[in-house]
Each structure stands twice: as C-alpha cells, then as structure tokens.
Structure 1
Amino acid sequence: MRILLSPSETKSVGGAGAPLDLAALSLPSLTDTRQKVADALVSVCTEDSVQAQQALGLSDALADEVTLDAQLWTSPTAPALTRYTGVLYDALDQASFTKATRARAESRLWIGSALFGLVAAGDPIPHYRLSAGTKLPGLGTLRATWREALTGAVAPWSDEVVLDLRSGGYHQLGPVPGAVTVDVVTEYPDGSRKVVSHFSKHHKGLLARTLANSRAELADLGAVVRVARRAGHVIERTSDTVLTMVTEP
C-alpha cells in the first residue's frame, strides 16, 4: 500500500544529512524534471530576490525563505517525514514512531512536492519554499511541468492500493489513476453533514498514522477500511475509489 500526503508550507530548518543529491531520491525517472524545477527556483532566488518573493507569494516577514531557497544545493538535508511540519504532520506524530512503525511508515508514506514531484518518507531533502500554484520565471506552471512526468512515474503502482490524501493543487500536479481519495465530513446531531476544510488535514493525518503503523498487509481497500474502523475512525466506502471519513462537530 502507498499513502500520498500533501506537503506543508512550514518546514523544519537544518538537518544532519549531506546536501541535496537528486540521484538519492526515490522515483529516479523524475530526476530531470526535479533538476529543471530546482534550477529555476535557485536562479530566481539568487538573481532577483524581489521577483522571487513576488513569485513565491511571500510576505516581507517571510523574505528569508528566498535566501534559504537560494541555498538549496548547499543546505543540509533531513528525511522528508521530519522535514514537513504543520497540522497534518502534528497529527501523524512521526516523532512517536518506534523503530518498527517507522520502517512500516517509510515503506508506505509518500509526500507530494512542488519541487520534487513526490518523495518517499525517508528521502533526504533540504528546507525549501515552493507551492503547487507557483509560476517560476522561465518555467511556466508547475502543473504543466510535472503532470506527464509524475503520472508516468507512478504508473507501475496500478496494481497496488494507493490512498491519495493530497490536496487539490498537489493532486493536479500528477493524478494517480485508480487511486482512492478520502472526503472528510462532519456529521451533526440532526444527521446533516458538512465537508471539513482546514481540519481535514488533521483527520487525514490521524488516518495516515493508523494505516502507516498497521502491521496488516493492507493489500485491498477492504483491509484498509477494516484497519481504520478498528482504530476508531468512522469510515464509509462511498465507491471503489472514494472513502468518506465522518467526524463529530
């Protein structure tokens, strides 16, 4: 099973790993596209910090992110699972993983990225700032840049259960045919339901934690639903490619 997560705008800084080596990342067919995007990002951040700040949509308070992006090739790396922070990753709580659960998590968890397309949880990456909706000078939209390469890279996963928890922008960078998505809704006492927006990240993080840590094989969607329900999640199988996660108000 593979579980695809959204990245986060917030990321840890620093790390103990050697500088970025694209050849060390999973899905090597993406190396050329990763190189192209990374070069475009470093170029604008090195040559014109004002243009870079505008392109990245950064406020003056976050202007230092431009400097960090300019240092992309020389800054230290850390495993992707520890690099990303924020609501989803707080719920995932990777710091509490045991050696065994971390090994399972690293074999199942993948994280979408505007810079790298998709990385495995254990892939060594530096701090960076780049979101799916950014248009870098000389490169065009990231959706157009990534879509063909990324969809092709994950084509071999067609026989596996893929749970795609990425948000819309990262899903559009490279849809995975046949992947299962999860809708998060709140059910009220009168039986009405409302789609959860911001806190969807929290609930998806909890679900990802349950599935990533499970010792079950998770070879089919039925097994995914059973494991999630045993852990206390209210999950409905809406279709063969959609699950609905029901939460309380």
Structure 2
Amino acid sequence: MLVLLPPSEGKAASGDGAPVALERLSLPGLTAARGAVLDALVGLCRGDEDTAAEVLGLTPGLRGEIAKNAGLLTAGARPAAEVYTGVLFDNLGLAGLDAAAYERAERSLLVFSGLWGAVRVSDRIPSYRCSMGVKLPGLGALGAYWRSTMVDVLPEVADGLVLDLRSSAYAAAWKPAGEVVSRTATVRVLQERNGKRTVVSHFNKATKGRIVRDLLVTGAEPKTPGELMDALLELGHRVELAAEGTARKPWQLDVVVTEVH
C-alpha cells in the first residue's frame, strides 16, 4: 500500500546535522528536478525580500521564512517525519509508533512537497517554506512542474493499493493514470449532525491522520479499495462507498464522523 499525504505548512526547525543530500533522497528520478527547485527557491530568497514574500504568499508575520529558505543549502537536515507538524501529522503520531509500525510508515508513506516533489518520512530534509501553489521564477507553477517529472517516477512505486489523502493543490503534482486508477482510493471526511452531513476542513486532516495511524499500528495490508474499506470498518471507522472507481476515476470513500476533535 502506498499512502499519499500532503505536507504541513508549519514545520519544525531544521536539524543540527549535515545539510540535505539530494542524491540520498528516495525517488532518485526526482533528483534533478529537486535541484532546480532548490536553486530557484534559494535564489529567490537571497534577492529582494518583498519579491520573495509576494511569490511565496507570505504575510508580514511569516517574513522570517525568507531567511530560512535562503539558508537551505547549509541548513541541517532531519527526517521528514520530524520536520512535518500540524494536525494530520499530530494525529498520525509517527514518533509514538513502535518499531514495526514505523517501518511500515517508512515503506508506505509518501509526503508531497512543493520543494522536494515527494519524500519518504525517513528522508532527511531541512525545514522550508514553499507550497505547491507557488510559481517560482524560471520554473513556473510548481504543480505543473512536478507533474511533468512525476508522471514517469511515481508509477514505479505505485504498484499496489494507492490511498490518496492529498489536498487538491498537491494532487495536481501527480494524477494516477492507466491501471493505477483502478486501485486508487480517495477519502472524504463528513460530519453528521442532526441528520445532516457537511464536509469538514480542519478535522478532515485529523481524521485522515488517525486512519493512517490505525492502518500502520494494526499492520493492515489491503490490496484493493474494497479491502481498504473493509479494513477501516473493522478498525471501527464509519466508512461508506461514495463512488466506485472507473478506468478514469479513483474510488471515493466517505468517512462519517459525529464528533470532531
């Protein structure tokens, strides 16, 4: 099973060790593209601060992220599992997994990124600020930029069930195609209250984090979207089939919650 995750906007500080080594990151087919984005981002942030803030969509309170990006070539790297924070990753709780569950996380989780394209949780990266919606000078919109590279790289690792939990901005970087579509499932989180259902936003991330944690902790290995639905039901989640997959569209599962916290 391959689980596709969005990153978090908030990130822990960079580490104290060696800087990122692009050639050591997973998915080596992305190395050249990562180098180009890294150089473009660092160059932007070493230039005019107002321009960098506008391109990156930073509020005045986040201008410190520009200096962080400017120093990415020498900043200490740490495992992506420690860099990404936020609601989804808090509820995923990678640091609290036992050795077997963490090994499954290293093998199955893939975090999408405007800077790195996609990384495994064991890949060592520095803290950065660059969303997939950014248009970098010389490269253009990062979603389209990464899509042209990932179309050849991602199918190599998407050889089983694909659980796609990305937000729309990060889903733009790679869309399952061909026979991969038929074994891809997306998840929508709905809150039910007084007989009415609504799509939740903040708690969407929390629920998705819990779902992935439950799968990792129990060692569930569903091979099809149908088996995934069965596994989640057995784990106590209220799951419904919203749309069966076709040759062009992934399966869509709805997870219904009554309490959001």
TM-score range, shorter chain: over 0.9
Aligned residues: percent identity? 41
Conservation of the 8 A alpha-carbon contact between 2:144 and 2:172: no
* In 2: Cα distance, 1:140 partner to 1:226 partner: 42
Conservation of the 8 A alpha-carbon contact between 1:109 and 1:212: no
> Post-superposition shift, 1:224?
1.9
Q: Which residue of 1 aligns with 2:216?
A: 212
> Post-superposition shift, 1:54?
1.5
Secondary structure of residue in 2 paired with 1:44: helix
Structure 1 counterpart of 2:216, one-letter code: A
Instruction: List 4+ stretches of structure 1 deviating above 3 A.
Output: none
Q: Is the aligned partner of 1:187 residue 2:192?
A: yes
Q: Which residue of 2 aligns with 1:201?
A: 205
* In 2: Cα distance, 1:88 partner to 1:158 partner: 22
Structure 1 counterpart of 2:130, one-letter code: L
The 3 A distance-change label for structure 1 pair 20 and 231 is same
Q: Which residue of 1 aligns with 2:63?
A: 63
Q: Which residue of 2 aligns with 1:50?
A: 50
Q: Is the aligned partner of 1:243 residue 2:253?
A: yes
User: How many residues in Structure 1 have an aligned counterpart in Structure 2?
Assistant: 248
Q: Which residue of 2 aligns with 1:143?
A: 143
The 3 A distance-change label for structure 1 pair 208 and 17 is farther
> Post-superposition shift, 1:158?
4.8
* In 1: Cα distance, 2:116 partner to 2:198 partner: 33
Q: Is the aligned partner of 1:119 residue 2:124?
A: no
Structure 2 counterpart of 1:242, one-letter code: Q
- Which one is further off, 96-105 or 160-169? 96-105
* In 1: Cα distance, 2:143 partner to 2:219 partner: 35
> Post-superposition shift, 1:64?
1.1
TM-score, L = length of structure 2: 0.90
Q: Gaps spanning 5+ residues in structure 2: where? A: 246-250
* In 1: Cα distance, 2:147 partner to 2:51 partner: 25
What's the RMSD between the two structures over aligned residues? 1.5
* In 2: Cα distance, 1:17 partner to 1:120 partner: 19
Q: Is the aligned partner of 1:230 residue 2:238?
A: no
> Post-superposition shift, 1:174?
1.4
Q: Which residue of 2 aligns with 1:23?
A: 23
Secondary structure of residue in 2 paired with 1:4: strand
Conservation of the 8 A alpha-carbon contact between 2:12 and 2:82: yes
Q: Gaps spanning 5+ residues in structure 1: where? A: none
Conservation of the 8 A alpha-carbon contact between 2:2 and 2:158: no
* In 2: Cα distance, 1:160 partner to 1:26 partner: 18
> Post-superposition shift, 1:159?
3.5
* In 2: Cα distance, 1:100 partner to 1:33 partner: 32
Secondary structure of residue in 1 paired with 2:147: helix
Structure 1 counterpart of 2:215, one-letter code: L
Deviations 1:121-163 (A, max 9, x none): 1111110000111111222111221112112211224541010
The 3 A distance-change label for structure 1 pair 94 and 184 is same
